[in-house]
Amino acid sequence: MRFLIVDDSKAMRSILMRALKTAGYDGSTFVEASNGNEALTQVRAAGVDVVLADWNMPEMNGLELLRALRAEQNPVALGFVTSEGSSDVRDLALSSGALFVITKPFTPDVLKSALAAVAS
Amino acid sequence: MSGPLPIDHWMDVMEAATSEVAVATLGVGNVERFARLDEPSTVMSGAYLPLVGVEDQLQIALAALPDDCGRIARAMLGMAETDDLPIADVADAINELVNIIAGGVKSKVFDRLGALQLGLPIFIHGPPQPTGRLRTRVTPVRIGETPAVLMVVQHREQEA
């Protein structure tokens, strides 16, 4: 599986990558982007199976990224990993086409459960 | 909603969130806690993040000596202790650590206080300056093998 991890924090990208490996995706390919614009370029250039995106990012945030992808008719699975876990954010994300919203702090098991639908 | 929480309650919550994050999210080991202080015993660098609710406004922070901030950051990034790490990357890692801890704090007080807004973390060299209106609580900790402190800063009139 090819993951695109989108977060303006290098540390968070690293944490997510390690958590995905622990969750059983150690044979996967990981691509990184630090904002939505970079992520769009990555998706258009190489294609990915799953996008894991932060909600708040500079230049283009996670929700704008999701809306840009859907505007291009790109159905790639996208989940948010964010500290913004309010019901408003969750509702907005899911109604905009997100697959899931994971609230920090998270565990590898939470990631695994959220990704089960994609993996199958 | 039942009014602002006492500062020691906030620290209880922050300690619990930090322990969970260290073990379950970061895998950097257990968090050993020591007796609380009213201010840090030495000048440290660290990340401060505002938490704002209807009845509470405070800052939570994680601080350590500069070399220890580097150790924590390298552990988060899966790097060896001898690897070079620019200070900007150290700050990014400590900021993210406090952001994750804040997410845990937010979820732990949701039933009592509702949804808190998280501000942006900022990495600062040096301690907060106490004033007549600010109350600070500090818990020295050891995250894995690395000493650090957890801090809660609250306006006195907001404390229950």
How confident is the model over B25-58, as pLDDT tens digits?
A: 887 778 999 999 998 888 899 999 999 988 888 9
- pLDDT score of B151 more than 70: yes
pLDDT tens per residue across span A71-93: 999 999 999 999 887 888 999 99
Cβ contact, residue pair A18, B27, below 8 Å = yes
Arithmetic mean of pLDDT over chain B:
90
Supply the pTM of this predicted model: 0.91
Taking the Cβ of residue B114 and every Cβ of chain A, the question of whether any pair is shorter than 8 Å is answered with no
Give me the residue from B24, B73, B78 closest to A105, CB to CB. Answer: B24
Which among B20, B78, B89 has CB closest to A105? Answer: B20
Question: Comparing C-alpha atoms, which of A19, A59, A14 is closest to residue A32?
Answer: A14
Cα distance between residue B65 and residue B108, in whole Å: 28
Alpha carbons B139 and B50: distance in angstroms, whole number: 18
Chain A CB contacts of B95 below 8 Å: 9, 11
CA-based nearest distance A61→chain B, Å: 15
Q: Is the minimum CB–CB distance between A75 and chain B shorter than 8 Å?
A: no
The residue whose two tokens read 């989108």 is A6
A111 at B interface, C-beta within 8 A:
no
Kindly give the residue spans of alpha helices, DSSP state H, lying in chain A.
Answer: 10-20, 36-46, 62-71, 87-95, 108-119
Q: How does pLDDT run across A17-35, given as a tens digit for each residue?
A: 999 999 999 999 999 999 9
Please give the share of chain A, as a percent, with pLDDT higher than 70. Answer: 99
Interface test with A, best of B62, B76, B109, B123 (most A CBs within 10 A): B76
Tokens 């800052």 correspond to: B59
Q: Does residue B62 surpass a pLDDT of 80?
A: yes
pLDDT at A64: 97
pLDDT of residue B1: 54
A32 touching B (Cβ < 8 Å): no
Quick one: which of A118, A59, A56 has its CA closest to A93? A56
pLDDT in tens, A41-59: 999 998 899 999 999 999 9
Q: Report which secondary-structure segment, H or E, holds A98.
A: none
- Angle of CA points A91, A94, A96, to nearest 5°: 105
Give the number of C-alpha atoms closer than 13 A to the C-alpha of residue A41, restricted to the C-beta side.
8
Q: Choose, out of A83, A91, A92, A103, the residue to mutate when testing the contact with B (most B CBs < 10 Å).
A: A83
Query: Does A104 touch chain B if contact means CB atoms closer than 8 Å?
Result: yes
Q: What proportion of chain A, given as a percentage, has pLDDT over 90?
A: 88
